[in-house]
Amino acid sequence: MKELSARSIVGAILLTLTGTIALSAELENAQVKAQAIERLLAENAGTEVRTNAATGTADFVRLPQNVRTRVRAAAVTSRNDAAMQFISRHATALGLRIGSADIKLRKSERDRLGRSHLTYEQEYGGVPVFGARLKAHFNDGDQLEALSGTLVPDLAVSIAPSRSPEEAADTAIQWVIFKLGVQNLSAARSRLMIFREGLAKGVPGDNHLAYEVEVSNGVNVREFVYVDAHTGKFIDQITGTPDALNRRAYDGNGGTFGEVLAIWPDFPFWVEGDAFPTSDSEADNMLLASKETYDLFANAFNRDSYDDAGAPLDSIFNRGYSCPNASWNGAFISFCPGLTTDDITGHEWGHAYTEYTDNLIYQWQPGALNESYSDVVGETVDRINGRDVLLPNNPRSDNSCSMFGGTPLPELTISGGTAAGSYFVTASVNEPPTPFTVGPTPMAASEPAGACTAITADVDDKIVIIDWTLDGTGASECGSGTRAANAIAAGAAGIIFVAPQSGLLNLGSNAAIASVQVSYDDGATIKTGLPADATIVFAAGTDDSVLWLMGEDSTAPGLDGALRDMYAPNCFGDPGKVSDEVYACDLAQNDAGGVHSNSGVPNHAFALMVDGGSFNGQTVNAIGLTKANHIQFRAKTHYQGPATDFAGHADALEQSCADLTGTNLASLTDGSPSGEIISSADCGEVAKAILAVELRTAVSQCGFEPLLAKDPPPLCPGGFWKTQPLFIDLFERGILRLLNRRPWKVSHDGTTPDFTERDWEVVAGLPGDRWGRAFFGPDPTYGTCAPGGDETAVLHADSPEIRVPKKNRRNPQDKALRMAFDHWVGSESGWDGGNVKISVNKGPWTLVAGEDFIYNPYNINAFGIDFLIPTPPSTNPIGGEQAFSGADGGSVEGSWGRSIIDLADYAAPGDKIRLRFDFGNDGCGGAFGWYVDNVAVYQCRN
């Protein structure tokens, strides 16, 4: 009994160990930055500071008047000196190395308000840092009043590339071919830079020396691909051809890429000075709107074309590829037939102006701001040109949809079965004319589940449930149009699309059938509750107005009419505030993290500023189109940078409004004094619009999940006292190792001659403030994935032999044999990772399968294989096996969790077993590694 009591004590300790020994290096870095920001605030009382979620450093600093008088340039030539003195004093808070010369002054300008703006760009050892720009703003008295922008901290990478530009270009081209399915691509240019992962997304990430490769076909493909200059691995891809209408997989039915290239730029259809109108109405629409956009920026903002240097406005109409769509490709705008409307043309030119001002990264919230500003330009052109004489431009009413496009969110009601009730749903872009009701009608699950081929299940005159299935790369198995067509062919009365786990999508579907989309979890509930009936209700819009609709005049086949509503984004399934359920959280579904849908949030803020309205507890009084446009453009040109997110946009709007207070603004139509003067009350309305759409609210509904769940069940059914330990190692000393007096055996294999000696080891200083010591398998960040630096290996940690007790007369029944361990995973996702193996009676090592985990199984079913085509194939010795790999969602680090395994199918009473923790890595690139603690093998007593 004494021995069992001791084991019970050990088991209890196993369940309760917590505490703190040391902060990880990452936590220490965060603490240093936080202390530096506290110092900035302490030394400059009254200063406002906003920090960047991706870097932990200050990216907007607004100085109060008492500080401005201290930080003043003595003369025009010393503004840089004054700014640099403040920047250097607070380098750590801003993301710079103390004493470094990592930022360079690139531009100094004085605006029409008499204020000066200095633009700095960050370098590291002479290599530019992607998206890293800081601006210093001086008032008309040459006092420093604000700093804005994002710098990248913690720079410690080798700037001598291990791979050539040609190798990077080849990887980039192959990647784009793989992702877009197009050929005839080339690398237009390549440049070396420091690239920070997660900067646009707003999450922490690693710094890389990388090649930025511009991959293009000269027409409609312009992708910026980032390739690690040491490992040759793909890092990220950002599009350089923003689309106004979102990419939808329709085949082109007109001219080819080559035909467009053959006419541009040497054979124009029309040049300035030729007779107008032309012989083609599409060309006339495009040319008129191009002039109207140019005039807007020239008159209101004194800007000469998008580059402010008189660049020609090249544009192409009646293109026949990638239709229906329109785009800016860095050289010209182009349109499929039916899309040369004034607002869509203005939208495309808006992308050009963005590229030459704040150059917002086309991903996540910066990308949504990019799209939103193009909508602002398009709607402004539409409202001031006086050409919309046939459609009503009546004021909009709060939270109502237009009669000319969009509908209130549809309703889905399930009757009968266990899933009965109402569900939140969104509509596709293409739906039958509203209002209408489908049902109550029986539901049936599609077979195949994704409906990418002909549906074989009986769905005739039923509402078919279609799962949004993915292929092996994580991309959509097929488009919504294909799935809808198969549903129509099978006689379905309607469709319920079940979104992937990553979240709701923007779907096209088909106007011949009603379709709604439910969340992944709701879809599972509905399918479990079959048989049951469903009723789908679509209401109609009530506002007799086309105000704030984007593309309402378009006549393109498949995209006829409006695609977005800036005043009521929900009418097209887009979020009107950050906390909306339809906020897009996914990068993989070809919309760069929701750039077209999440643009609804800043769109809504702009619309509320212009026309006013009540929303989300705020009543915003209108400040008008002129004031709102001046505030927006000043924010873009002076306070925003490539990585600006929604919160940064809010800061930029408020600062720009404060700057413009008391100014007689230039007219949007002719540049003359408009008589419209911004007041402090107007700035109060801007602040209310920001609150209404929650620009400063953190996105919580995306809910990046930890890799390991945090609520494990008891080790045995019936509680702790049913647990009978056979083996325990807490990796501590003294009584804490009572049941493991024998050492583990560590070894490695699968290595190359370049392998750097390393093995599992017991370490202290655990991540996550965890007390004590644990086993650690490192995931090295060094290596080149090539001869001379190939760090490929698998590290083994083998337990001592453990004997499973035989049956006896006192207890002849089998006892459940289990294993439990606490662990922390932070590895290079998809390439490096670990798993558990077992050897019985000195037999071969066998992988413990994921289906035998009771809690926290492997998160990757097969990793380390070449599923990341076309990046280099993995050399990981345990590639292709189930494993723990990666880190917590939205992070590069892990967090502690417990896994419990049922070993009953592997060993019988009387067997002798050994357990192995394997951690494998490929030849380069890593993160932290795998920490394993509190390993226990035990039986559950009856």
pLDDT greater than 60 at residue 11:
no
Strands 912-921 and 793-798: antiparallel
Convert the pLDDT of each residue in 593-618 to its tens digit.
888 999 999 999 999 999 999 999 99
Band of residue 631 on the pLDDT scale cut at 50, 70, 90: very high
DSSP character for 491? T
Per-residue pLDDT, 430: 84
Give the whole-number percent of the chain exceeding pLDDT 70.
Answer: 90
Convert the pLDDT of each residue in 439-488 to its tens digit.
999 999 999 999 999 999 999 999 999 999 988 767 789 989 999 999 99
pLDDT greater than 50 at residue 710:
yes
Per-residue pLDDT, 586: 72
pLDDT greater than 70 at residue 22:
no
- Evaluate whether 816 touches 904 at the Cβ level (below 8 Å): yes
Per-residue pLDDT, 473: 65
Per-residue pLDDT, 470: 87
- Evaluate whether 449 touches 428 at the Cβ level (below 8 Å): no
For residue 710, give Cα distances in angstroms to 254, 718, 824. Answer: 55, 20, 12
Q: Which residue has the higher pLDDT, 100 or 37?
A: 37
Give the whole-number percent of the chain exceeding pLDDT 90.
Answer: 56
Per-residue pLDDT, 363: 83
Convert the pLDDT of each residue in 216-275 to its tens digit.
887 668 899 999 999 999 999 888 766 543 332 222 345 665 676 667 777 778 787 778
Alpha helices (H) in 157-207, listed in sequence order? 165-180
Band of residue 329 on the pLDDT scale cut at 50, 70, 90: confident
Structure-token match 């896994």, residue found: 899
Q: Which residue, 176, 227, 235, 175, is CA-closest to 201? A: 235
Q: Which residue, 894, 921, 556, is CA-closest to 704? A: 894
pLDDT greater than 70 at residue 558:
yes
Cα–Cα distance, 384 to 810 (Å, whole number): 92
Q: Which residue, 105, 80, 77, 85, is CA-closest to 44? A: 85
Q: Which residue, 191, 231, 175, 237, is CA-closest to 208? A: 231
- Evaluate whether 682 touches 658 at the Cβ level (below 8 Å): no
Strand residues in 644-683 grouped as ranges (E): 664-666, 673-677
pLDDT greater than 50 at residue 3:
no
Q: Which residue, 540, 516, 524, 521, is CA-closest to 463? A: 516
Cα–Cα distance, 676 to 624 (Å, whole number): 9
Q: Which residue, 875, 878, 869, is CA-closest to 925? A: 875
Q: Taking all residues of the chain, what is their mean pLDDT, rounded to a whole number?
A: 87
Token pair in block for residue 617: 């507890």
Cα–Cα distance, 928 to 878 (Å, whole number): 18
Dihedral in degrees, nearest 10, Cα atoms 244, 247, 249, 255: 50
pLDDT greater than 80 at residue 29:
no
Burial classification of residue 936, based on how many CB atoms lie within 10 Å of its CB (0-12 exposed, 13-18 middle, 19 or more buried): buried
HSE at residue 728, side-chain half, CA atoms within 13 A, is 26
For residue 599, give Cα distances in angstroms to 575, 591, 637. Answer: 8, 11, 19
For 90-97, what is the mean pLDDT?
91
